[in-house]
Chain A
Amino acid sequence: MTKPIESMMVYVDGSEGSILAARFAVVLASRFGAELHALSVLNTRALSDLVQSHIFLESEREEYRRELADDGSRYLNHAVEMGRRKGVTVVGQSASGSVAAAIKEKVAELRIDLLVMGPPPRIRSRRDALYDEAEMAMRTVDCSVLIARDEERIEELYEELF
């Protein structure tokens, strides 16, 4: 019988929502015996937009690119450690470009069948909803998407793991 979920991926960006999503992904991967990947995206698209629009200088782009890369490594290490504590192997994945496109590409490349993400912000304008990269990814990926909510319950489930 085919497992309902063979391969999962969680998108991590350092936000509280993405940490919650990573926790839930570890729980699900453990229960389903699924492979789990964590993806961090270096948003070079946004950096290019800022240089093009003259908000950033070239030197700022480089400075922020380094900082974003360091942050991304930290987020991935955190997700890997979160899995390790519960006996779940989390494979760190890095990508760069636009967040939505990078998520979509990784989902296809790794044949992911469940993408786990944190909840979108509750306060937002219609414009934000239209341009939110993570939300765009949710709408366009070719796999099922799960939004992690209910922090208390997810925390309980995570702690229940051996």
Chain B
Amino acid sequence: MALIELIEEQAVKVPLESFDKEGVIRELVDVLASTGKVSDVETLYKAVRLRETLGSTGLADGIAVPHGKTNAVRDLALAIGIAPAGIDFEAADGKPSKLFFLMAAPPDKAGPHIEALAEIARLSRSKALCSALVSAQNAADVVALLRGD
């Protein structure tokens, strides 16, 4: 599944209002819920939190990819948040995270889940793109950048 198929402006928040890890996860889960794709917000929140307890999904260079597998979504769903000032997400390199991709996947969508996450991993390697995303002024800019417009 192409990542772009999962991206919609309504599920992008610029800037995030939270100041800590718990808050960011909660805020992004709420953003996703606002699209109508989440049947049980609390279950999704717990799934993402549970995954974080096993190890932070804060990668290097200011990117974090919190994710969870749960029946609270029927299809793969993605929320994106930008925090230009950075938030401590217990990242691998100890640096604050600025670009967040929260992905929720139902248990029966392993293939598309892997593909979408792998695509995020790939684009996270583009420093120019990530820098542009962190500088985006609004959700429309984020979507345009990810579309490659």
Contacts and interface: CB of A to CB of B under 8 A. Distances in A.
A126 B115 CA distance: 16
Interface stretch (B31-39, B54-62, B78-86, B134-142): B54-62
Interface stretch (B10-18, B42-50, B117-125): B117-125
Interface residues of A, number: 28
A93 B59 CA distance: 36
Contact of B111 (A55, A68, A124): A68
B4 A123 contact: yes
A49 interface: yes
A46 B114 CA distance: 7
B121 to A, nearest CB: 4
A13 B111 CA distance: 8
Contacts of A128: 2-4, 119
A123 B5 CA distance: 6
A127 B148 contact: yes
Contacts of B111: 13-14, 43, 68, 71
Contacts of A14: 111
B67 interface: yes
A54 B119 CA distance: 14
Contact of A127 (B57, B123, B124): B123
Contacts of B123: 127
A71 B59 contact: no
B46 to A, nearest CB: 17
B118 A46 contact: yes
B41 interface: no
Nearest to B56: A54
Contacts of B67: 55
A46 B2 contact: no
Given A67-B110, A123-B5, A124-B4, A55 B148 contact: no
Interface of B: 1-5, 54-55, 57, 59-60, 65, 67, 92, 110-111, 113-115, 117-125, 146-148
